[in-house]
Every structure is written in structure tokens, then in C-alpha cells.
Amino acid sequence: MFQDIPESVDIEYDPAPAEQGDRMLCYDGRSVLVRIEDNKAVLPKLCELDSDCKKVFVFRADGIRYFLCLEKASAKGFGFEPLNTVRYVAADTDQYAVVTGYHYYCFHAESRFCSVCGERLEHDPYKRCMVCTGCENEVYPKIAPAVILGIIDEETDSILLTRYAGREYKKYALVAGFIEMGESAEAAAEREAMEETGLKIKDIEFFADQPWGFAQNLLIGFFAKVTGSREIKMDTSELAEAVWVKREDVPAQPGGISLTSEMMWAFKSSQR
Ligand SMILES: [Zn+2]
């Protein structure tokens, strides 16, 4: 998965100003300033930007610091590439930075004014939050937890695959949904299975989790076994397709960046 990088990542907020060799994350909507080189995303250093910009610290990996640029930026030899292009290059630290930095970029884009008193928000100098210039209300990045669910039918050695309705992502996925207030992740898994497919599940088992900055989520992956009827009653407002797929027919390869692809590969390669 994209967060499985060899460098040790230190996410603790570092208030020290950026230096010329630090990497810069510059976004324009769902595009990021990169150079694609040997199927890898390469980020510009601060010294490579055409002009200085207002910036905030994102994280550090093995001594290299990554900053989010808060203004429109440009750099010679770099161009704005869609996040979906960067998604399919080889996983490494700069790709991880693009995904994580995008989460922070969205937070800044959505956190301009205080929702309590309406005054302007400013970045706190010492921690990763915005502070209201009027009432000192603190606003932290939103992280929405969601479950991803591999539902297995042991009798037919199949897994339930879905396609989302009305989304950019058209490949096969797994049943997924947000955790609601007052709900455990396991309860959300049971509810989503029932809501999206009409299936009852048992033996819910944690597999792995993943920070997913593309949509400001924390994804929590579970495998579970179907119990009772195998008949799928699909929620057509959420899904365009929901089908049982035999283990050998699952369209998955090793080394995917997403938890969904990792889970599909885990089933296909009989790790589950
Ligand atoms: Zn306020």
C-alpha cells in the first residue's frame, strides 16, 4: 500500500521554517506539481520553485521535510498532473507525500473562517490546526473513518465485488462505507453489508488499515463470512454492480497502493 514506504515517517508537527532542500507540495484542485520520472512522482524542492510561497509543515521522512504550499506555485521542469496520474506510479515517499499533503490541502481549502463566530482562521504556529483570530476556536484536520469489507462465501470459495454508482473510479471494489456516530467499526461493517447488498455477515476479522488522503479518510479493512442467504439485494443508489467472484477469477495483482487492491490480492493469493 502507498503508506508502506522504507523511510520512517515522523508526522509530529515541526514549526521550524522550510529550508531550500525541503520538498514542496503544491496543488491546484485535484492536480499536483510534479515531474513523472522513471514511473515515479518527483516533487520540487523549495529552491526549485519560481518564487517563494506561504507554506506549512506536513511531515518528515528520514530527515527530509515536506511542506504544503498555500499559494499557486510553479517550477521549471515540473507540471500540474492529476492525482489519478500520480496514483498509478510506483509507490515511494514522494507519492505518499502527495496523498497525505492532499488531505492537508483540502483541510486548508475548507478552513478559512470560524464556524462559531465567522472570523478568519490562521494556522497555529506550533501545532497542526487552525485558530480563530476572533474567539480562539481551534479547528483540526477532519479524518473520516470508513470500513472496507471483504465478504467471503466459503461454500463457493467466492468474494463479493462491487462497482460504485456515479463515481470516477470504475474498477471493481469491495463493500465500503462510513462509520456513523456511536458505532464501532465492526457494527458499521455489519450495517454496510446489509444496506448495500442485503447480506448478513459473521466472523468479522480485522485485516489492515490505511490513511487515505485522496478523500480525507482512515480506511479500516475487515474480512467476514456471509451467513444465511447468498442472494444479493443491491442498493442501486450506492452500487452499479455487486457480484460473487470465484477466488481464481478475482482481478487483482500484488503491490497495489490501495487497501481494496491489497485485500482483493490477499483473497486471490489464498492469504484469506
Ligand atoms: Zn471564532
User: For position 43, what pLDDT does the model report?
Assistant: 97
Asked whether 130 and 137 are in contact (CB, 8 A), the reply is no
Question: Which residues have C-beta within 8 Å of that of residue 122, sequence separation ≥ 6?
Answer: 130, 131, 133
Distance (Å, whole) CA 164 – CA 236:
9
Same fold, 9-110 and 144-268: yes
Q: Which residues of 57-72 are buried (b: 16+ CB within 10 A; e: fewer)?
A: bbbbbeebbbbbbbee
Query: What is the CATH topology of the domain spanning 144-268?
Result: Nucleoside Triphosphate Pyrophosphohydrolase (3.90.79)
Distance 109 CA to ligand 1 centre (A): 17
Banded model confidence at residue 63, pLDDT cuts 50, 70, 90: confident
Banded model confidence at residue 110, pLDDT cuts 50, 70, 90: very high
Distance 211 CA to ligand 1 centre (A): 29
Distance (Å, whole) CA 67 – CA 128:
12
Distance 120 CA to ligand 1 centre (A): 8
SS3 98: helix
Distance 131 CA to ligand 1 centre (A): 8
Distance 97 CA to ligand 1 centre (A): 31
Rounded to 5 degrees, φ, ψ at 231 are -70, 125
Which sequence spans correspond to the domains of the chain?
Answer: 9-110, 144-268
What confidence tens digit (pLDDT) does each residue in 207-247 have?
999 999 999 999 999 999 999 999 999 999 889 999 999 99
What confidence tens digit (pLDDT) does each residue in 65-78 have?
999 999 999 999 99
Distance 130 CA to ligand 1 centre (A): 11
Distance 198 CA to ligand 1 centre (A): 44
The CATH code for residues 9-110 is 3.90.79
Distance 132 CA to ligand 1 centre (A): 5
Distance (Å, whole) CA 35 – CA 31:
12
List C-alpha distances in Å: 84 to 109, 140, 169, 208. Answer: 20, 26, 10, 23
Distance (Å, whole) CA 174 – CA 98:
24
